[in-house]
Amino acid sequence: MDFGHFHIDEGVNPDTGIRTQFKFEGDQVTCIRTYDAEPYLKRAAEMRARNEGKKWGEGREVGVLPPWALNEIQKIEDAGQREVAMKKFFRENPAFLAYDAFIK
C-alpha cells in the first residue's frame, strides 16, 4: 500500500511537552516524538530566583520534575525511595534544580 509522501504534525501535548509527528513515505510510516524541556527549564530558573535569600523551611521550591520523570518517580511506593529517586534525577539534571541544598 502506497501512502504517498506527506507529513502530519500533531503539535505539542501540553501535559507532557512531547511533540508527535508522522512522516509518510510510500509504504513506510515513521512516528517522530520530540521533547521540549524549555518550559520546565524556564520554570526552574524562575523558582531559583524566588528562592534567592531564603533559608531551608522558608517556603523554598526544590525544583521541577518534568512529566516524564514525575511519572516514573510517582510509581515508587516507598517515600524514602521516592526521595532518593528525586535527588538522583536532580543530580543528573541540575538545570531542573531550584535549591542546591536538597541534593546534599
Cell of 8: 502530519
CA dist 38 and 48 (Å) reads 15
Grid cell, residue 97, equals 534544580
pLDDT tens digits for range 12-52: 887 777 899 999 998 899 999 998 888 889 999 999 998 88
Domain boundaries, the chain: 5-35, 38-103
Q: How far apart are CA 73 and CA 44, in angstroms?
A: 18
What pLDDT digit, counting tens, does each position of 60-99 carry?
Answer: 889 999 988 998 999 999 999 999 999 999 999 999 999 8
Distance CA 51, CA 100 (A): 11
pTM value > 0.95: no
